[in-house]
Amino acid sequence: MKNTSHEIISLVRDKAAAKGIKALFFLHEENSSLMRLRDSAVSMNTSEHLTRLDIKVFGEKNIGHILAMGNIADEDYVEGLLYKAAERAKVNSGMTKLPALPVIEKSIEIERQFDTELAELDSIRKADFYKKVMEKTGTQYSYSGSWSSGSVKLFATSTANTNSLMQKLTDQSCNLVLQHPKKYWELKQIQNSWKFSALSPEKMAKDFLNILPIYEKNEGVRLENGRYRVLFGPQALGTLVELVVSSGFTANLYEEKQSWTSKFKKGDRILPENISIIDDPSEAYVFGRDFDDCGILRTAFPLIENGKLGNIAYKFQEAAYYQKQPTGHDKAIDAVMKPGKDTKDPLEAMKSYDKVLYVPFLHYPGIPNLSKGLFTASTRFNAMLWENGKFVAPIFSSRITDTLENIFGNISKMSSESVMANMSTTYAKREPIGISIPSYIISDNVNITDSAVSF
């Protein structure tokens, strides 16, 4: 019987250990499927199986690293890669301190977020899903979108012992954009989950139909520059939390005094006490990775605790450089923003105010000033003006330019319901990233710096 890829790697690991080679092996196998729609028809439908093997050899002067793509056919293939990495480890890196070889304390196999139905999902079922949504919402509109789905198998082991880690995950993100053929406004809906059964074409159609009358019956509004009360929906809030984490809690930015958190030390108050963000792979609304690409187990890791600075994430080689312990972050952070105590219904929440900007998506976000946590993004999809207890008009594309500290420092309402925002990309290796966030926040005093005269 032909050995599986992880069995072959384990055999090579044992040979390397017998020769005194210190090596870490990390395997990433993915099955990915991507469907795109344009002009209400399937414009692209692809699937691929990709295998990546990452080997690090720990020498006296350097870490020799090699990354290879291709099926793990036999031991000779893996041994050849190992010896190439070993040669690279002989080159002096100039590092004053090399990180130690990771030790995997016990063998673990994890499949808690693996759905066979999703892993084997046929493209015909995707097309049928989209067809149902379009028929229920209205075929007079033009539709575009994308649906990325797939599975990953991760395997890590080192020559420190014979233990290994393995995890299987599935994920998907189903996006659909509705465009008016003459007025050119666009509406967008997203559904995410690690289970296929969690998606519903009926719900997606209903969500479109709830918004359509506001856009069909009212002209767009151009906002004046200034400060506004804004309700950020789940995908917009997911974008904001991702910006908070990436700009404030990575070691290189923090240590080099480039992040907005660099002026603080652990335990300092950086935001109000109603803000807590942790990295926790066990949460239901993230695509949880229980170990990183270096085989380091991951558990709950507080970043912000009741408004106070918690921990900074150190990748493996960053930890060696800054003489810290690696924190299991040679992969994306599984961010979890703790929910609030207010109603889960955003419409009910807005009834307390005369005027609110409803912003469910942020388009093309960026951070022009890291040290100030200054970000900018536009509203684009589904943005609407709420006045005197109801939506009165869609909003033309408007630009928000503000600091993260101001957005999260002026929250007047926060949903008690947690949901997922999918922040995965389809342009690199399959690395599902889900952020668990309250289903909305209402932030006062948000800065609108520019507004278009169209959608």
Quick: pLDDT tens for 73-102: 899 999 999 999 999 998 876 666 778 899
Determine the pLDDT at residue 94. Answer: 66
pLDDT interval class at 1 (50, 70, 90):
very low
Which of these ranges, 16-25, 95-104, 206-215, 232-241, has the smallest mean pLDDT? 95-104
Quick: pLDDT tens for 374-412: 999 999 899 999 999 999 999 999 999 999 999 999 999
Whether residue 369 contacts residue 422, with contact meaning beta carbons closer than 8 Å, is answered with: no
Quick: pLDDT tens for 109-153: 999 999 999 999 999 999 999 999 999 999 999 999 999 999 999
Crossing angle of helices 201-217 and 123-137, rounded to 10°: 40
Q: Residue range 101-108: average pLDDT?
A: 92
Whether residue 299 contacts residue 105, with contact meaning beta carbons closer than 8 Å, is answered with: no
Q: What would be the CATH architecture of the domain defined by 5-217?
A: 2-Layer Sandwich (3.30)
> Can you tell me the distance from the alpha carbon of 388 to that of 353, in angstroms, rounded to the nearest whole number?
7
pLDDT interval class at 429 (50, 70, 90):
confident
> Can you tell me the distance from the alpha carbon of 413 to that of 59, in angstroms, rounded to the nearest whole number?
54
Question: Domain-by-domain residue ranges, the chain?
Answer: 5-217, 226-451
Mean of the per-residue pLDDT values of the chain: 93
> Can you tell me the distance from the alpha carbon of 388 to that of 380, in angstroms, rounded to the nearest whole number?
23
Looking at the DSSP assignment, which residues form a beta bridge with residue 366? 376
Determine the pLDDT at residue 316. Answer: 87
Determine the pLDDT at residue 100. Answer: 84
- Residue 242 clears pLDDT 70, i.e. is over it: yes
From residue 119, alpha-carbon distances to 33, 282, 285, 368 in Å are: 9, 21, 19, 39
> Can you tell me the distance from the alpha carbon of 34 to that of 26, in angstroms, rounded to the nearest whole number?
25
Quick: pLDDT tens for 292-305: 988 899 999 999 99
Determine the pLDDT at residue 317. Answer: 84
Minimal CA–CA distance to 29: which of 3, 1, 6, 57? 6
Determine the pLDDT at residue 298. Answer: 92
> Can you tell me the distance from the alpha carbon of 272 to that of 413, in angstroms, rounded to the nearest whole number?
13
For a pLDDT cut of 90, what percent of the chain falls above it? 84
pLDDT interval class at 276 (50, 70, 90):
very high
> Can you tell me the distance from the alpha carbon of 201 to that of 130, in angstroms, rounded to the nearest whole number?
7
Whether residue 196 contacts residue 217, with contact meaning beta carbons closer than 8 Å, is answered with: no
Q: Residue range 231-241: average pLDDT?
A: 96
For a pLDDT cut of 70, what percent of the chain falls above it? 98
Determine the pLDDT at residue 202. Answer: 97
pLDDT interval class at 2 (50, 70, 90):
low
The burial of 156, by beta-carbon neighbours within 10 Å (0-12 exposed, 13-18 middle, 19 or more buried), is given as: buried
Backbone φ, ψ for residue 292 (5° rounding): -95, -170
